[in-house]
Amino acid sequence: MVMKYFIISVCFLFCHASLLAQNATEAIQEVFKNYKNAIMTDRESEAIGYMDSRTLEYYKNILNLVRSADSLTLERQPLLDKFTILNIRHIATKKQILAFDDKSIIAFVIKNGMMGKNTLEGFELGKIIVKDKTAKAMIVVDGKKSTKFYNFYSDGTKWKIDFTSLFPAEEKETRQIIKDSGKSENEFILGILEIMSEKKVSPNIWKKIK
């Protein structure tokens, strides 16, 4: 009799866990769908609401570096961080930079393509692995599985996207592209900035904002 109840209890717990994982998977798919829709329809403030605390903290640090980093500090930053900082300095005015707050800097980044529509074209979520309040979702591009993943975190009521989880793979990919180009890191970055903006890069982008 004891064994019977034990087996029933184990089955119940297993079914309960499976149901929770299924509900979490559906919630994560919905969050990503809503985020993507917000980006595609130019609703930056709504899109920011789907970002997790790690992402918000990352851009808070980026804003601080945009304002305060000198050239030596910039050279110590990861490639993608350096690119983002220089890109913001290149296309934003001093007045804009000084007026940015933790969320308006993200809205600016989205509007200017660094996290915009072009970064989500053909993106969907594939297999999602849920473990307690964390999840890992494969990125599928144009129906093809990729080696990149989004991490998701739950605060107990809502799932949110950790965009920083993409950075290691993108950093590695970009470094290979630069290597293949035969250019130095800085030559490549400045060249891309000029192509994207269609304007000459000023040497002042290496200086802190005063």
The model's pLDDT over 150-170, given as tens digits with 9 standing for 90+, comes to: 999 998 889 999 999 999 999
Give the closest residue to 105 by CA, choosing from 60, 47, 41. 60
Provide Rg for the chain, Cα atoms: 21
Under 8 Å between Cβ of 166 and 148: yes
CB 159 within 8 A of CB 166: no
Residue 52 neighbours by CB distance under 10 Å: 21
What's the rounded mean pLDDT across residues 177-202? 95
pLDDT for the residue 21: 46
Instruction: Report the SS3 class of residue 46.
Output: helix
pLDDT in tens, 10-68: 333 333 334 344 588 999 999 999 999 999 999 999 999 999 999 999 999 999 999 99
For residues 39 and 117, the answer to whether their CB atoms sit within 8 Å is yes
Q: Which two tokens stand for residue 59?
A: 């851009």
Q: Using an 8 Å Cβ cutoff, are 40 and 117 in contact?
A: yes
Place of tokens 């300095």: 89
pLDDT in tens, 101-129: 999 999 999 999 888 788 888 889 999 99
Q: Taking the model in full, what pTM does it have?
A: 0.86
> Going by DSSP bridges, is the β-strand pair 123-131/134-141 parallel, antiparallel, or unpaired?
antiparallel
